[in-house]
């Protein structure tokens, strides 16, 4: 299994438009971050997690030429607004399967009604195959463990694929979810900035959760410019914790 970090930035990306913050002016490519998304290559299938406003650029950057499914964590703009850009995949492959909670499917249906109502009748418009998830589910004959968390007060989902678990936009994880996170090789989780935030983990919050779960390796994503320069933050992290960056590829058994 391999994960490619398609984007590791927060909702505004880095650089933020018009910002003079030093991180936004950095010439280190690891400080340039598209909106958070990931490509999981698992048992010869390509799964995209979240489909935000940078989806087209992310597909071109990654060289991905097939999408077998899109898994959605939640319905916020920076995680869903690229859905129309699945068109080239649809034209080659047919319907694209999407997996999300009933609430998220409803939000997508409302926002992209022309996709959900298409049924092949509107030229140039993609179709999707909807899969509502509320518990562990089977994809390509393999079990995906559904992880529950909260983004502020909003329930959101993460996903566990074998020994890799992926979260983003988390603020809290209920105690009874931790049993699903035992014996991980790789944990991906968000770390927005140094200061506290009402709906996102900050760096200390994320490190506390990593310490509790004890994965072999952890990668931080959904990062704002306020976390600091990539090279400086990385030097401050425990030896098994890494600051992800756009284009990073990580192998996991």
What is the distance between the alpha carbons of residues 217 and 240, in angstroms, rounded to a whole number? 5
| pLDDT tens digits for range 181-220 | 999 999 999 999 999 999 999 999 999 999 999 999 999 9
Q: How confident is the model at residue 121 (pLDDT cuts 50, 70, 90)?
A: low
Residue 122 predicted with pLDDT over 90 = no
Mean pLDDT to the nearest integer, 19-38: 98
Q: Is residue 31 within 8 Å of 14, Cβ to Cβ? A: yes
| pLDDT tens digits for range 46-95 | 999 999 999 999 999 999 999 999 999 999 999 999 999 999 999 999 99
Residue 118 predicted with pLDDT over 70 = no
What is the distance between the alpha carbons of residues 7 and 167, in angstroms, rounded to a whole number? 13
Residue 241: give its domain's CATH number.
3.60.15.10
How many domains are there within the chain?
A: 1
Q: How confident is the model at residue 117 (pLDDT cuts 50, 70, 90)?
A: confident
Mean pLDDT to the nearest integer, 21-32: 98
| pLDDT tens digits for range 4-25 | 999 999 999 999 999 999 999 9
C-alpha separations of 107 from 4, 100, 102, 122, 236 in Å:
27, 10, 9, 21, 39
| pTM of the shown model | 0.97
> What pLDDT, on a 0 to 100 scale, did the predictor assign at position 249?
98
> What pLDDT, on a 0 to 100 scale, did the predictor assign at position 253?
78
Residue 120 predicted with pLDDT over 60 = no
Residue 119 predicted with pLDDT over 70 = no
Domain range spanning residue 25? 2-251
Q: Of 64-73, 117-126, 149-158, 195-204, which gets the smallest average pLDDT?
A: 117-126
What is the distance between the alpha carbons of residues 43 and 103, in angstroms, rounded to a whole number? 29
Q: Is residue 131 within 8 Å of 96, Cβ to Cβ? A: no
């Amino acid at each position: 299994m391999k994960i490619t970090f398609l984007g590791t930035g927060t909702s505004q990306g880095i650089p933020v438009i018009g910002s003079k913050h030093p991180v936004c002016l950095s010439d280190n490519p690891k400080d340039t971050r598209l909106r958070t998304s990931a490509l999981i290559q698992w048992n010869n299938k390509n799964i995209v997690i979240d489909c935000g406003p940078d989806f087209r650029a992310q597909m071109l950057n990654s060289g991905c030429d097939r999408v077998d499914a899109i898994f959605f964590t939640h319905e916020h703009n920076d995680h869903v607004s690229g859905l129309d850009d699945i068109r080239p995949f649809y034209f080659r492959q047919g319907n694209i399967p999407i997996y999300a909670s009933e609430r998220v499917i409803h939000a997508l249906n409302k926002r992209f009604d022309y996709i959900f109502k298409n049924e092949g009748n509107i030229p140039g418009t993609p179709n999707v195959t909807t899969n509502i998830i509320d518990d562990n589910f089977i994809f390509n004959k393999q079990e995906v463990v559904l992880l529950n968390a909260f983004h502020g007060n909003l329930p959101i989902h993460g996903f566990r694929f074998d020994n890799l678990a992926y979260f983003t936009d988390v603020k809290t994880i209920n105690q009874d979810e931790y049993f699903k996170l035992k014996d991980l090789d790789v944990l991906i989780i968000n770390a927005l900035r140094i200061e506290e935030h009402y709906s996102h983990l900050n760096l200390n919050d994320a490190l506390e959760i990593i310490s509790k779960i004890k994965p072999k390796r952890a990668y931080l994503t959904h990062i704002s410019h306020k976390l600091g320069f990539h090279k400086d933050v990385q030097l401050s992290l425990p030896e098994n914790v890494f600051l992800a960056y756009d284009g990073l590829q990580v192998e996991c058994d």
